[in-house]
Structure formats: C-alpha cells, structure tokens
Amino acid sequence: MGNKIPFNLKHNFVVYEITDEKDNVFKNEDLPLLEWAKENNFSYTALNKIRKNRTDIRHPYNKWKLKKLYLKRKHFQKDDSYLYILFNLYKPGEYIFGEYKFNYEPFYIGSGTYTRIFDYNKDNMINKSEFSEKYNLIRLLYEKFNLEDFTYILKISKNKLEIDQLEKDLIKLIGRKVENSGPLLNILDGDILSINNEIAKKYNNSRNTPEFIEYLSTMVKEKQWSGKKGDVRRKEHSKKFKEINPSRKHYFLRCKDGNFCIFGSLRQWCKDNNYSLNILRTYENTGIIVKKFEKDNSFLLPQKAKLLGADFFSFTQKEFEELDSSKKEELFKEFNIKELDVN
C-alpha cells in the first residue's frame, strides 16, 4: 500500500487551550485543531466558529472556551526549499498514487522557499483578483478550514534541484485535470523547471534576478494562454469573473460623435478611441457634461472637448438585470446592440 502521508501541515499550526462544559482543559499540542477535534470527538465546526468570532469568550451554545496560546511552527531557513501538497478536505477517502497514500484528494502540488507557503493565507486569497479553479477552491476551503488543515509539507531540502525534480515526478504520478489524467489543478507539468535551471545559470545561479523573474513570468503566461487550450481557458476565466463579479459595469455614452455602448475595460476603450478617461470618470451618472464655469479650461484638449454636452452613464450587471424590460429595449434600440455582453 505504500507510505501513508498525513495530510496536515504539522510544521505550522496554532496551539489552543480548549475548555469544555465541565471545565476540563485540553491542548492540541501535537495536532492542528481539525485533527485534534476528530480524535477527541469535538465539533470542529463549533470550535472554528469560536476561534473566529469569540476567542477567550465562552460560546453560548456549547459552553466551550478557546484560548490562543502560540503558533507552533517549524521555521524554514532562508535557503530551504520544500515541496507542498494542497488537499481538498471536501473529498475524503483513500487516494493511492504509487507509494503515496492520502486521506483526502490532492488538488495542487507546488514548491517554494522560506515563507512561500504562507502566501496562501486567508487575507491574500480573499483579496486576490484571480478566479481560477484553484483559487476558488482555496477560498471555499477557508469557509470551514484553516491553512494548516489542508496543506502538507512533503519534503524539505537545501537542494532546490532535488525539490524541482520531485515536484515534476509527483505531478506526473498523480496527474493533472487539464490533461484528464488526474485531479491536480496544476497548469504546468514541471518540465519548465528544467529549462529554468539552464536560464538561471546565466544569472549567477540566482532565481531572484529581475531578468529571470521576467523570463519565468513570460514562459508561464505563454504556456497558460497559448493555443486552443489557452482560448478555452481565457473564455472560462472571463465567464467566471463576470459571474462572480456582479458589480461589473456596462457603460453608455451619448455624445456628438455618436452613441457608444462600452463593454469590458473603460480604460482600454478610452485609450483605443482617444477619449478622456478622467472626464468620463468625473461625470459618470451625473447628467450632461458641461463646463463648471465660463473660463473652465478642462476641455481644451481634443479628447476632452468632444465630451462637452455628452451624457455618460453606467449600470452594474446586477442593476441592468433588474431594469424594467421597456427600459432595456429602449437602450438596445438607441445604442444599436443585439444583446448585452454578460456571458
């Protein structure tokens, strides 16, 4: 059956003092809160709710109490490289890949140095503007779990090349979803790393030079967004972004040069058509654009002058969907559009 790999990140978890309804005191000294709760028949959902909202206060429903003591972490050295695995805790089971056996389905294999793994902290994930399947799943996991619950450090080494090779081998062994060969959401197969090692030699074997970082960024983008798979991924990404972002706007401009319905980036549209973004932003949904006073010099430049007397207004996607049907038809007719770009 092979070696059983524990799924939790034992290198990094918070130790709590847990007091039950009978005033018995416990500590999760050796396990993250999730694993400890399972082994001791505590409700992790309730404990997590207390941890988030009522630290050091007794919970009114179950009379338990949590007190945060300290962060138990195996500190990574700056020259350490490591391989990490992210697990989907919503899919428990027995997952066997060669010599590895997991309690939950792995969905991402990655490598990093020093504090790279902590880039997946909750605040970063919530504020991140990327809506890929990987990041959406991480956000979903944070609704019930913590980083230490779904992350495991498989190997730590001073040898970066050793970690790179292990990452490549493990991705190949488990398989990637993009190739219908496994559950991993990795876009790259690991081959790019061997290329990068050759490139890195040109920059004194450093992976932190601006030239190397720029090269790596270009390589990843080309691999992600090129060809037929790139077209499909681009459409899926755009659709997910629009679905998840109900505040996305559709702009309408009436001016002497004609009526325009603007989808997507207003900034890019202004750049392509030589219109003033600043003027449009200032007068958005304020009515007809007029001079504030007689000697107002704001409209001297041609790109600004043609906006005098214009009417610039917008709707968020949600606002547009809630519009009266007659108002929608009026806009469609006036701006000569067949349908609004919401897909």
pLDDT per position as a tens digit, 12-64: 567 788 887 788 888 887 777 777 887 888 777 777 777 766 544 455 545 67
Check residue 173 and give its pLDDT: 93
pLDDT for 197 beyond 70? no
Average pLDDT estimate for 122-128:
74
Decide if 89 contacts 104 (C-beta within 8 A). Answer: yes
pLDDT per position as a tens digit, 226-243: 666 666 666 666 666 555
Average pLDDT estimate for 155-183:
88
In the sheet that 3-4 helps form, which strands lie side by side, from edge to edge?
A: 3-4, 100-113, 81-97, 151-157
Q: What percentage of the chain reaches a pLDDT higher than 70?
A: 69
Average pLDDT score, the chain: 76
pLDDT for 206 beyond 60? no
**Where do the structural domains in the chain lie, given as residue ranges?**
7-73, 190-245, 249-334
- Please choose, from the candidates 187, 6, 178, the residue with its C-alpha nearest in 3D space to the C-alpha of residue 87: 6
Fill in the amino acid letter for 58. Answer: R
